[in-house]
Chains A and B, each alone.
Chain A
Amino acid sequence: MTATETTGFVGTPVLRREDGPLLKGKGTFVDNIQLPGTAHAVVVRSPYAHARIRSVDLTEARAAEGVVAAFSGADLRDDWKAPMPCAWPVTPEMKNPEHFPLAVSEACYQGDGVAVVLATTRALAKDAAELVVVDYEPLPVAVDLAEAVKDGSPTAHESLESNISYVWKLETDAVDAAFAAADTTVKRRYVQPRLIPNAMELRGVVARPEPNGDVTLWSSTQIPHILKAMSAATLGMSEAKLRVIAPDVGGGFGSKADVYAEDLLVLALARRLGRPVKWIEERSEGYVATIHGRDFITEMEFAATKDGTITAVRANVTAAMGAYLQLITPGIPLLGAWLYAGPYKIPNYSFTCTGVFTNTTPTDAYRGAGRPEATYVIERTMDALAAELGMDRLELRRKNFITEFPATIASGLTIDSGDYVGALDKLLEDFDLDAFHKEQAARRASGDVKQLGVGFSTYTEMCGIAPSRILGAIGFGAGGWESSTVRCLPTGSVQVVTGTSPHGQGHETAWAQMAADLLGYAMEEIEVVHGDTAMAPYGLDTYGSRSLPVGGAALHLAGQRVIEKARQIVAHTLEVSGDDLDFAGGLFSVKGSPDRAMHIKEVAWLAFAAHNLPEGMDPYLEATAVYDASNFSWPGGAHAAVVEVDTETGDARLVRYVAIDEIGTVVNPMIVDGQVHGGLAQGIATALYEEASYDEDGNLQTANLVTYLVPSAAELPSFELGRVSAPSPLHPLGAKGVGETGTIAAAPAVINAVVDALSHLGVTDVQMPATPERVWRAIQEAK
């Protein structure tokens, strides 16, 4: 395959065009923007989890060397025409305390901004920030989720009577009856650790006022379009005067799909000061100032007949919101709310979520967002139910798999396609379970210190966020469509404009593959434009594995519209009917007279020249399409993890991981494998390493990368991947989302493996992450 071929790119591992600049150190990350006259901002943050702000004295800071200005929350209060946005009021009654970029009178988590100092260099701004004197009056704190939800707990805000933000419920009619009639029920309680997303690039923002009163804002964001709209609304400025650019963005994983205090502060300060303003996060700062993920406690119940048919599921989630509702904080649990039956036929369904404020960093979307939490409790409880029934855990799964599609599930959605049986079959083909069991049995028999376990996770998930109609029905503030423009330029190249905003996913390459196949251009003749609201004005950005399912479909539709327009021009020019034209490899040819042909590049020139277009046709060969999916995207699969557990030290190490995923049509298998690898690493890290913990006063204990354990290459094995395919009948290419599958599936597979390794010792559960101490204690308690 060479890049000059003009068809057949989709499905092949085309190397990424994004790589060159990144490999040579020529990336355009926000901190690389160095504008003359920049004022560097440093935010002064509350060291207390909850405190009244009695006063903020900026006198010394303002007098310090190099200082341009300094402001308290009160100083800037009138800059905000609206509080910071929460776009997902999940219930009409939901409590949502006012949240401003700097706290005005009450700091509600350790890290809540209380003042900002601007100086001519970052170093001088940091020096001056130390001179800000804040008089705090500490207040009682609500930190632990299980305590915060109780009556009588201190509240996270003085204005709240309780910490409950909302209660949201989805339930079918006969759940209680199904539980009452069950032969067997199991009920388990699981804690999802609070996680810190840790995109390798920290957040950063630069704003530059333009001479005409416009402002250009560069932000390390996944959502330049949403950020533009929300920033303009919060500042009460014309959205038309704001240009947001997401340059190269060094990872996001949901943490950059948010509207942050610093985005708004930098924008407001640049307008106030009339000069460029820059803020760059530090890692320890980001640990309190960038959203966290997860932090759920879930009670999960299955009802089943004695032959292993599951008849009902009941999930009761308590979810930490943190101190404030960020952009979609309250909706995160709902992204899993329809999924608590997993890939299984379960006719009776109950899901309840209670959203709870705590004096901690706000939570919001972190890779998987609601679906890893659901899949974890489902797959852990499947193993528990199998043990309860004395049934093989894979047999139990097979017995309950959904096998016919489309499948309307009890929670009310319809899964368009899937192949859970095929994925599990392939997993077992690749894995050699018999050989594993022999080795496991030998180690058990010899009483080896190091025991082996295997764990499985069979899953489906809903992603590709997605149908505007459904999002509206569940209270989401925006739609789920995506837009694309395909523009065949008169001199032989193509510009593809997309509303998605990649930050590592390789859209420039994958979108060019799709466009090349559609239009018959060479790869290098196609440029993909994204991430700049001046060049790609319409879009809803990249999160929730939506880019290919929605944005890719929009590109496909726009390309088809271009071809149809070109067909009309060719028909008009050659004086034939459009129906008489074949189109392949960029060439329109008259059926039966292949010598009468015209290349689409020639059509692009004719459309530009506009000397002889069909009556009423606009010049230029371009088209825009907006695609609004009729359903979510439903990938699935079957994963297996093997862990080795040192029963003396409690150290659990992953030694093998096999992932079989069903994700429909694959555009670039190399990129897809990369997405799965990275997703797996994050799910495995959740299971074995990562947990953000607070002390009882609300001080973050895992305050930096020394104590919060993001694994390195040395902690992980290579991964074995495979695929089966059940293309989505609803997507023009049959594609599905893949950005989150690894993270969603991996954690339960790993913990199921840890428990399997220790089951002969009587261990039935180990809380995530399975630290050496937790494993050791589980073994002691089982004795």
Chain B
Amino acid sequence: MRSVAITVNGERRELQLEPRELLVYVLRERLALTGTNVGCDTSSCGACTVLLDGESVKSCTVLGVQADGCEITTIEGLAMNGALHPVQQAFHEQHALQCGYCTPGMVMAAVSLIESGEAGSEKAIREGLEGNLCRCTGYHNIVKAVAAAASVTA
């Protein structure tokens, strides 16, 4: 076991972790933040995407102990004062989710993409979401939602 301190959604959390615990399981099982989903075991699908020090990462491909001292933002930490984040709002308005399972990871990836200024065209958005798989929407409305959110936050 190893002592770590991770700031999750603005709150400092001190934890005793087994080194093998993946960040996604730390969030889900230690901190009961079950919004971050597991969709594969090969770092392919992006369902578990969170922000680590402000950048999108796949939390299945980060050890909890590697996140010691880092700031993590999960889907639960995105809405401010009860209001949906512009990306969440755009996903709702554009019907960019169906089953909702890929959604938390897709939203977090989109937030990172927009913040890095790389959501300027449909092509850029499509390529910027290459690491996130969705099986329901055919991506059509996801791309529209990200473009809409990018124009709001620009």
Contact = CB atoms under 8 A, between A and B. Distances in A.
Nearest to A684: B138
Contact of A712 (B37, B92, B133): B133
B98 A24 contact: no
Contact of A506 (B98, B139, B143, B144): B98
A487 interface: no
B105 to A, nearest CB: 9
Contact of B98 (A20, A504, A680, A710): A504
A712 B35 contact: no
B25 to A, nearest CB: 8
B103 A22 contact: yes
B130 to A, nearest CB: 4
Contact of B47 (A13, A200, A704, A716): A200
A704 B42 contact: yes
B135 A713 contact: no
B55 to A, nearest CB: 19
Given A25-B74, A25-B104, A710 B135 contact: yes
A31 B34 CA distance: 8
A24 B91 contact: no
A34 B28 CA distance: 10
Interface in A679-714: 679-682, 704-706, 710, 712-714
A24 B39 contact: no
Interface stretch (A245-253, A443-451, A531-539): A245-253
A646 interface: no
B127 interface: yes
A250 B35 contact: no
B92 A19 contact: yes
A602 to B, nearest CB: 35
Contact of A34 (B32, B92, B93, B125): B32
Contacts of B93: 15
A143 interface: no
A713 B100 contact: no
Interface residues of B, number: 59
A718 B126 CA distance: 10
A606 B137 CA distance: 45
Given A24-B79, A200-B133, A705-B133, A250 B97 contact: no
A714 B100 contact: no
Nearest to B127: A714
A283 B47 CA distance: 12
Contact of A282 (B36, B41, B107, B135): B41
Contact of B39 (A283, A505, A712): A283
Interface string A1-41: 00000000000010110111011111101011010000000
Secondary structure at the A interface, as helix, strand, loop or mixed, is loop
A384 to B, nearest CB: 29
A24 to B, nearest CB: 6
Contact of B33 (A23, A25, A123, A250): A25
A677 interface: yes
Contacts of B102: 200, 250
A719 B101 contact: no
Contacts, number: 183
Question: Main SS of chain B's interface residues?
Answer: loop
Given A23-B107, A678-B138, A200 B99 contact: yes
A31 B107 CA distance: 20
A251 B95 CA distance: 15
B80 to A, nearest CB: 12
A249 B136 contact: no
A718 B140 contact: yes
B56 interface: no
A84 to B, nearest CB: 26
A671 interface: yes
A414 interface: no
A503 B92 contact: no
Contact of B95 (A32, A198, A670, A680): A670
A253 B135 contact: yes
B38 interface: yes
B129 A712 contact: yes
A16 B95 CA distance: 8
Interface string B111-154: 00000000000100111011111111111111110000000000
Contact of B100 (A22, A671, A681): A22
Contact of A123 (B20, B38, B45, B130): B20
Contact of A713 (B36, B79, B125): B125
Nearest to B29: A34
Contacts of A24: 35, 75-76, 78-79, 84, 88
A284 B42 contact: yes
A158 interface: no
Contacts of A23: 75, 84, 88, 91-92, 97, 100, 103, 107
Contacts of B104: 25
Contact of B42 (A202, A251, A680, A706): A706
Contact of A251 (B29, B76, B107, B136): B136
Contacts of B16: none
Interface residues of A, number: 55
Given A200-B39, A282-B41, A704-B44, A678 B98 contact: yes
A705 B99 contact: no
A15 B92 CA distance: 7
A80 B36 CA distance: 36
Of B40, B129, B135, most buried by chain A (CB within 10 Å of CB) is B135
B34 A200 contact: no
A505 B98 contact: yes
A201 interface: yes
Contacts of B41: 282-284, 704
B120 to A, nearest CB: 15
Interface string B63-77: 000000000001110
A26 B40 CA distance: 20
A674 interface: yes
A57 interface: no
A199 interface: yes
B29 A29 contact: no
Most buried by B among A202, A506, A706: A202
A315 B5 CA distance: 65
A200 B107 contact: no
B101 A712 contact: no
Interface string A546-562: 00000000000000000
A674 B45 contact: no
A580 to B, nearest CB: 44
Contacts of A299: none
B125 A250 contact: no
A22 B79 CA distance: 13
Contact of A677 (B34, B37, B140): B140
B27 to A, nearest CB: 10
Contacts of A670: 95
Query: Among A18, A506, A674, A681, which residue has the most Cβ atoms of chain B within 10 A?
Result: A674
Given A200-B135, A202-B39, A705-B45, A25 B34 contact: yes
A199 B40 CA distance: 11
Nearest to A201: B101
A524 interface: no
A176 interface: no
Contacts of B28: 31-32
A301 to B, nearest CB: 34
Given A25-B36, A32-B34, A714 B129 contact: yes
Interface of A: 13, 15-16, 18-20, 22-27, 29, 31-32, 34, 123, 198-202, 248-251, 253, 282-284, 503-506, 670-671, 673-674, 677-682, 704-706, 710, 712-714, 716, 718-719, 742
13 contacts: A23-B88, A24-B78, A25-B36, A27-B35, A32-B28, A32-B34, A201-B39, A251-B135, A283-B39, A283-B42, A677-B140, A714-B126, A718-B122
Give 9 nearest A-B pairs by CB, closest first.
Answer: A25-B35, A250-B101, A22-B100, A681-B138, A504-B99, A504-B98, A25-B75, A677-B138, A705-B44
Given A26-B35, A200-B45, A251-B98, 6 more contacts: A23-B91, A25-B34, A284-B42, A678-B136, A704-B44, A705-B40
